[in-house]
Amino acid sequence: MQRKFRLTRSEDFKRVRQNGKSYAHPLVVLVAQVDETSMHTRVGVVAGKTTGNAVQRNRAKRILREAARPLLASLASNLDMMLIARSGLVSATLEETRAALIYLFRRAQILPADES
């Protein structure tokens, strides 16, 4: 994922976490917020210590980034969102993760129903 499509500053993560709307799934939590200053969607990926050890957290973040990458082009613009890994994501496949993200994006109404 290119740097311009990522949340990088801790202030951005805090703002999205405090002001954004969250949507939960057993594998991942989506927190989304509209950002009028940005021209495109930015994504931040987070995996806390409850996800597992460092190897498992890094694997979970890689899976989330790869699952979200092809979906970014069809998402609504001007969004900042966080994808928070849950412990079940460590054993999930890429297809299961992508299905979870599609479910969450549709639930948040940022992915059109005919896209997948």
pLDDT tens-digit readout, 101-110? 999 999 999 8
pLDDT value of position 116: 55
pLDDT of 115 above 60: no
d(CA 60, CA 86): 9
Instruction: Look up residue 77 and give its two tokens.
Output: 């613009």
Sign of CA dihedral 100, 55, 21, 25: positive
Mean pLDDT of 26-55: 91
Residue pointed to by tokens 């082009």: 73
Contact 108, 72 (CB under 8 A): no
d(CA 9, CA 44): 10
pLDDT in tens, 74-89: 887 788 999 999 999 9
- Round the average pLDDT of the chain to a whole number and report it: 90
